[in-house]
Structure 1
Amino acid sequence: MTKRFPTFLLVLVATTSCSRESYFQPDARVAYPAPLLAAADSALVTAGRHYQRGPLGRLLLGAHYRKVWATPVTLPVFKPATVVNGGLKFGKLGGGFQTTSATLLASSGRSYALRSIDKDPYKTLPKVLRQGFVLTTVRDATSAGMPYGAFVVPALAQAAKIPHATPRPYYIRPDEDGLGEASARLRGKVVMLEQKVEGEENIVGALKGARALEESEKMLEERYHSPEHSIDEAAFLRARLLDLWMGDWDRHEGQWNWAAYSQPNGKTLWRPIPQDRDQVFFRFDDGLVSWLVSRIVPKFRTFKPHYESIEGYTRNASFIDERALSSMPREAYSSTAQELQQLLTDEVIHAAVQKGLPREVYALEGARMEAKLRARRATLPQAAEEFYQLRARRVVVAGTDQAERFVVERLHDTVTVVSVYTLGTKKDSLLYRRRFNPADTRQVVLHGLKGKDEFTVTGSVARSPFIDIYGGPEEDTINDSSGVSGLRKKTRIYDTKRNTVFEIGPETKDHRSRGVSTHAFDRDGSGR
């Protein structure tokens, strides 16, 4: 058996397997197991000295941020009674799969998240893999994350005019008992504390004026239910370009909160608030095995002076990007990137990195991180252009559960205009408008959702994007009088036969069916 077992796997097992009962450091303090004085305000700790590897381990798995994880830094000791005015009390345990977390409550009613910086992906693996070198290797990949990167972000986001949380690092005493059920799980760990951005009680500071704070699921529910709700796509684009600049590849819909602002016309505008900066400044492909994994799993993109793969950086966020950037034209990407270049000056970068990283870590990584940020800033417009091209290939235009009119005008070979109007109202009826060039956009997907919607397609041209129409569960009216030169029909209808009233020409491809599968539309990401 041994002779047939690949040599590199034998080396990997020897390098990563761990005979210790527990993989993780028993306590973050360098002085452990010596007791911590009761009056101690600070402690010398390491974020994760268990990530240290010998030369062979670093060659195979990568150097990552192992030195940073193992570097002793001085952090304040977390004291629930005094950390904020009035103290914090335990609320509930968090439900994360990789981090240990808890919700803490202040006397003011505000809530805070307390969670470990280190991760354990044990629960994310199938049960058959929760042992041996596979588990150890997956655990080891946590060392690719910069443990103190989240503390650099607030100053950069502030300069970029993007709402943000402001996490702070702490050490939890080995005898801490003021955190309720979370006490035993968090003792001896390095953690971060940040105010939660959800619920009316947490509307403070830059968020004043908002009438609600919600997670993506709730925001999207409101957006698709009524035309009275819309997303601030320009603000979301700004935040996403900041993500790209910092190499933060894990920006799925669960990584955002949304502030609701009442508008003069009585409608509601939802503005994004990024959270959970666990993967910012990621460093992964510097080992033989990790390099190979990064080629197989494109989302594991390393933070380098150049942008490795825009598709990889944005893969995890494709669902929310598709829904929150559907109206943004190329010009918006370009102008936003240029504005960020002006705001994120050398002085801003230096101050953010120096303030965010512990002094000992800044000595190791500060200059290199600043140099990469400056280099990536110089080519941000090019990255934004590539991001636009990715998002422009296939654009989803969704209505709401109310009745709308979708108007597609194939004006000429380089312009197809898609507009969406509310029905049954004369005031502010235009909901959406965008011009599409078939050189950028291959497919525009229209979803009527609920309501008795109308779809009209006009114009005769030589080139145009495909227009796919999904009417939804109620009776819809479709009229296609357009024409596009070529062998392939460029208007395609997906609906049930009994729910559609339509007039079609030679350009229309009828994909109607008896089943209702065409009525499905993923509103919150659960259908991916």
Structure 2
Amino acid sequence: MIRPYALLFLLLPAAASCSRDSYFQPDARIDFTSPLPANADSARVTAGRHYQRGPLGRLLLGRHYRRVWAQPVTVPVFSPQTAVAGGLKFGKMGGGFQTTSVTMVGADGRSYALRSLDKDPYRTLPKVLRQGFILTTVRDATSAGMPYGALVVPALVEAAGLPHTSPQVFYVRNDETGLGAASERLRGKVVLLEEKFEGKQNIAGSLAGAQDLEESEDVLEERYASAKHQLDGESFVRARLLDLWLGDWDRHEGQWNWAAYAQPSGRTLWKPIPQDRDQVFFRFDDGLLPWLGSKAVAKFRTFGPRIESVEGYTRNAAFIDERALAAVPRAAYQRAALSLQQRLTDAVIEQAVRQGLPREVYALEGATIIASLKSRRSMLPQAAEEFYRLKARQVVVAGSDEAERFVVERRNDTATVVSVYALPLSKKNPASSLLYQRSFNPADTRTVVLHGLEGKDEFLVSGRVRHSPFIDIYGGPGEDTVRDSSRVAGLRKRTRFFDTYRNNVLEPGPETKDRTEHNVLSHAFDRDGSGR
């Protein structure tokens, strides 16, 4: 007797058409056998007609957005000389694993990303899987993405009060030579062109007034080097709720740029700029095999009238969420949700979808996307509460490589207040030294993790209560001081100190658990998401 799962895998090769030697369409143009006129300014193309499947393929692999990928649309022909005012020149090849990408540079020094709309996950697979129906099936999953979804997003992000890129779709001629090392790989393809927000030369428009633009990796390096650099958590939570609303599950730290703004205090506040909207409106679990996959991999959520899994949607962004949302209280999540509901009106949604999608694609999917966006909007407060609770379970509060004082006050059974001050404290105005403050309720937060990083840091813990989160203290390199006079009812000690055995001052109390060791493993702290 053949089990249902075994039958699926027996039928899968036929559904995926794995016998094809060349998977991708040879050219995006419908009539690519005839030359494109030299003066052609537009072309009739498909984003990916190779994603078409018969009834069996759609049953097993899902309907996804196959009709959209195969739908002929008219798009401009890409010309490096005219794509933007002053023209573009080849800069360098990008590092994408699934798309061919290139940096182009304008006459004014501003940089742009040019990347293929279609994807090839070949290089993301182990070598043993880079063949046969497994490779073809993984390639086929690209059809779960809405190829033109990124064109809808700018108007929605602008209405939400956030900076944004403005991607444009083009067709690259099959004889194009102006893209440097990428010319051959991009010929005949549909591509997206969008501005890059990296470097002072790219400050313009809504970003006027910013001091600098940097990627997440560089911003985090500055943030942990000096407490003068802070991330704008309230803007970030607004952006992340917008991600949930759009069904964009791939929002890892590499999907963000940051704009620096000087503050009256002399510090620098970094505001988030979302980019790379490849996964908005993702549609996945409408076939037997992807339905099984969605049960095993929570992040593959399908965009529809309901926000199905906040945990799944936010899994890829866990690292940057932890860094950027550490200071954000519950009330800020709800303020952001209510503000988005007010800003993202029916008229804004309808206009963004109608103007963003190609006319033929709007006829296929426009009404469905509009209805889903309106329905999901009503769920934003509920999603915000779930998001808050998810991020509040364990909160990482990191200092910097400069000296800081961490003050933990176990005030009562519902409030443990953590404050971080720059050292030395200002004699004229001690309050100006305050870098961080947040109250934690043990009903929401089980553990608060304090990282002193480098510098001579102080950790002061006080208060007598019945309930409190665990306080895990990682002193980091340098001589650190811990004084714990607190007491929490119960047998389990709720202040834990992790550091080297020597070169620290520990004044423990009845609540302190000494976890110091002879090695420096406790000094490890992942600053940029690389795991180092």
In the superposition, the TM-score normalised over structure 1's length comes to 0.98
Q: Deviations over 1:128-187 (max 9, x none)?
A: 111001100000000000000000000000000110000000001111112121111111
1:20 deviation in Å? Answer: 2.7
Q: Deviations over 1:105-140 (max 9, x none)?
A: 111111111100000000000111110011000000
> Secondary structure of 2:118's partner?
coil
1:4 deviation in Å? Answer: 13
One-letter amino acid matched to 1:494: F
Q: Percent identity?
A: 70
Unaligned runs of 5+ in 1: none
> Secondary structure of 2:69's partner?
helix
Q: What is the CA–CA distance in structure 1 between the aligned matches of 2:348 and 2:296, rounded to whole Å? A: 36
> Secondary structure of 2:335's partner?
helix
Are the aligned partners of 1:409 and 1:459 in contact in 2 as well (CA < 8 Å)?
A: yes
Q: Call closer, same or farther: CA 1:4–1:385 in 2, change over 3 Å.
A: closer
Q: What is the CA–CA distance in structure 1 between the aligned matches of 2:518 and 2:37, rounded to whole Å? A: 73
Q: What is the CA–CA distance in structure 2 between the aligned matches of 1:328 and 1:300, rounded to whole Å? A: 27
Indicate the residue corresponding to 1:272 in structure 2.
Answer: 272
Q: What is the CA–CA distance in structure 2 between the aligned matches of 1:263 and 1:110, rounded to whole Å? A: 26
Indicate the residue corresponding to 2:249 in structure 1.
Answer: 249
Unaligned runs of 5+ in 2: none
Matches within 5 A, 1:129-168: 129-168=129-168
Q: Deviations over 1:396-428 (max 9, x none)?
A: 000000010000000111110000001114052
Indicate the residue corresponding to 1:107 in structure 2.
Answer: 107
Indicate the residue corresponding to 2:423 in structure 1.
Answer: 423
Indicate the residue corresponding to 2:466 in structure 1.
Answer: 462
Indicate the residue corresponding to 1:361 in structure 2.
Answer: 361
Are the aligned partners of 1:26 and 1:188 in contact in 2 as well (CA < 8 Å)?
A: yes
Cα RMSD (Å) of the superposition? Answer: 1.3
Q: Give yes or no for the alignment of 1:478 onto 2:482.
A: yes
Q: What is the CA–CA distance in structure 2 between the aligned matches of 1:5 and 1:235, rounded to whole Å? A: 45
Choose from 468, 481, 494 the match for 1:490: 494
1:506 deviation in Å? Answer: 1.5
Q: What is the CA–CA distance in structure 1 between the aligned matches of 2:20 and 2:372, rounded to whole Å? A: 38
1:18 deviation in Å? Answer: 2.8
Q: Give yes or no for the alignment of 1:54 onto 2:58.
A: no
1:349 deviation in Å? Answer: 0.1
Are the aligned partners of 2:474 and 2:497 in contact in 1 as well (CA < 8 Å)?
A: yes
Q: What is the CA–CA distance in structure 1 between the aligned matches of 2:283 and 2:200, rounded to whole Å? A: 37
One-letter amino acid matched to 1:195: E
Indicate the residue corresponding to 1:194 in structure 2.
Answer: 194
> Secondary structure of 2:411's partner?
strand
Q: Give yes or no for the alignment of 1:340 onto 2:340.
A: yes
Q: Give yes or no for the alignment of 1:124 onto 2:124.
A: yes
1:264 deviation in Å? Answer: 1.9
Q: What is the CA–CA distance in structure 2 between the aligned matches of 1:499 and 1:347, rounded to whole Å? A: 63
1:200 deviation in Å? Answer: 1.0
Are the aligned partners of 2:499 and 2:517 in contact in 1 as well (CA < 8 Å)?
A: yes
1:510 deviation in Å? Answer: 1.2
Indicate the residue corresponding to 1:390 in structure 2.
Answer: 390
Q: What is the CA–CA distance in structure 1 between the aligned matches of 2:359 and 2:48, rounded to whole Å? A: 17
Q: What is the CA–CA distance in structure 1 between the aligned matches of 2:266 and 2:497, rounded to whole Å? A: 35
In the superposition, the TM-score normalised over structure 2's length comes to 0.97
Q: What is the CA–CA distance in structure 1 between the aligned matches of 2:504 and 2:281, rounded to whole Å? A: 50
Indicate the residue corresponding to 1:520 in structure 2.
Answer: 524
1:15 deviation in Å? Answer: 1.3
Indicate the residue corresponding to 1:508 in structure 2.
Answer: 512
1:246 deviation in Å? Answer: 0.4
Indicate the residue corresponding to 2:457 in structure 1.
Answer: 453
Q: What is the CA–CA distance in structure 2 between the aligned matches of 1:257 and 1:5, rounded to whole Å? A: 43
> Secondary structure of 1:218's partner?
helix
Are the aligned partners of 2:233 and 2:328 in contact in 1 as well (CA < 8 Å)?
A: yes
> Secondary structure of 2:37's partner?
coil
Q: What is the CA–CA distance in structure 2 between the aligned matches of 1:4 and 1:291, rounded to whole Å? A: 14
Q: Deviations over 1:485-507 (max 9, x none)?
A: 11211111111110221111111
One-letter amino acid matched to 2:313: Y
Q: Give yes or no for the alignment of 1:21 onto 2:25.
A: no
> Secondary structure of 1:230's partner?
strand
Q: Call closer, same or farther: CA 1:4–1:350 in 2, change over 3 Å.
A: closer
Indicate the residue corresponding to 1:432 in structure 2.
Answer: 436
Q: Give yes or no for the alignment of 1:224 onto 2:224.
A: yes
> Secondary structure of 2:30's partner?
coil
Q: Deviations over 1:77-113 (max 9, x none)?
A: 1111111122111111111100011111111111111
Are the aligned partners of 1:150 and 1:277 in contact in 2 as well (CA < 8 Å)?
A: yes
1:214 deviation in Å? Answer: 0.5
Q: What is the CA–CA distance in structure 2 between the aligned matches of 1:444 and 1:468, rounded to whole Å? A: 6
Q: Deviations over 1:192-249 (max 9, x none)?
A: 1111110111111011111111100100000001111111111111111111110100
> Secondary structure of 2:326's partner?
coil
Are the aligned partners of 1:17 and 1:132 in contact in 2 as well (CA < 8 Å)?
A: no
Q: What is the CA–CA distance in structure 1 between the aligned matches of 2:178 and 2:366, rounded to whole Å? A: 35
Are the aligned partners of 2:501 and 2:518 in contact in 1 as well (CA < 8 Å)?
A: yes
Are the aligned partners of 2:311 and 2:390 in contact in 1 as well (CA < 8 Å)?
A: yes
Indicate the residue corresponding to 1:211 in structure 2.
Answer: 211
1:265 deviation in Å? Answer: 2.1
One-letter amino acid matched to 1:527: G
Indicate the residue corresponding to 1:324 in structure 2.
Answer: 324
Q: Call closer, same or farther: CA 1:3–1:486 in 2, change over 3 Å.
A: closer
Q: What is the CA–CA distance in structure 2 between the aligned matches of 1:150 and 1:309, rounded to whole Å? A: 22
Indicate the residue corresponding to 1:86 in structure 2.
Answer: 86
Alignment coverage as a number of residue pairs: 527
Are the aligned partners of 1:473 and 1:499 in contact in 2 as well (CA < 8 Å)?
A: no
Are the aligned partners of 1:118 and 1:142 in contact in 2 as well (CA < 8 Å)?
A: yes
> Secondary structure of 1:364's partner?
helix
Indicate the residue corresponding to 2:285 in structure 1.
Answer: 285
Are the aligned partners of 1:393 and 1:443 in contact in 2 as well (CA < 8 Å)?
A: yes
Q: What is the CA–CA distance in structure 2 between the aligned matches of 1:226 and 1:77, rounded to whole Å? A: 47
1:252 deviation in Å? Answer: 0.3
1:5 deviation in Å? Answer: 10
One-letter amino acid matched to 1:441: T
Q: What is the CA–CA distance in structure 1 between the aligned matches of 2:505 and 2:266, rounded to whole Å? A: 34
Indicate the residue corresponding to 2:181 in structure 1.
Answer: 181
Q: Call closer, same or farther: CA 1:483–1:191 in 2, change over 3 Å.
A: same
Q: What is the CA–CA distance in structure 1 between the aligned matches of 2:510 and 2:499, rounded to whole Å? A: 18
> Secondary structure of 2:502's partner?
helix
